Amino acid sequence: MNRRSLSLVLALGLIGGLVLALSHTFFTPGKYILLPWAAVVLGTVVAIRADGIVPMSQRFTVGFVAFAISSMALYVAVLFSPGVHSVGLLGHAWRLGALFAVGALLNLVTVRLSRPSPSRWAQAG
């Protein structure tokens, strides 16, 4: 991963995490968090496509790490919410594993959508 991809990952992850954490803080908790989460994923796909990253592995890595950073921000926001019960180390481990598995599957599906248009390939190469 080069510097440009790393800066894209950090920007997308931090902005997405901020959106998700603020959505959890100010909106009704529960299934409605899926709407801003979908918007974050869609925004990540659009940003990766606009950046013109050609290799599929690099697009997957950027999308997955951005998803992981933003999801971890939401996870931390939920942990520090009032009324949250302690789940123990094993409880956190399987939740984070499931979260990263969903992120990997989601990025496998969306990596094709983030492919730059053929006219951009000539500019990137």
User: Tens of pLDDT along 12-22?
Assistant: 999 999 999 99
The range of the structural domain enclosing residue 24 comes to 3-124
Helix (H) or strand (E) holding 68: helix 56-79
pLDDT value of position 120? 56
Residue range 48-99, pLDDT digits in tens: 999 989 899 999 999 999 999 999 999 998 888 887 778 888 988 999 999 9
Unique residue bearing structure tokens 């390939």? 121
Residue range 20-52, pLDDT digits in tens: 999 988 886 678 888 999 999 999 999 999 998
Helix (H) or strand (E) holding 42: helix 34-51
pLDDT (mean) for 90-117? 93
Whether residue 11 has pLDDT greater than 60: yes
Cβ neighbours for 66, distance < 8 A, ≥ 6 positions apart: 8, 9, 12, 13, 16, 44
Domain count, the chain: 1
In the chain, % of residues over pLDDT 70? 94
pLDDT value of position 41? 94
Nearest to 50 by CA among 100, 124, 108, 104: 124
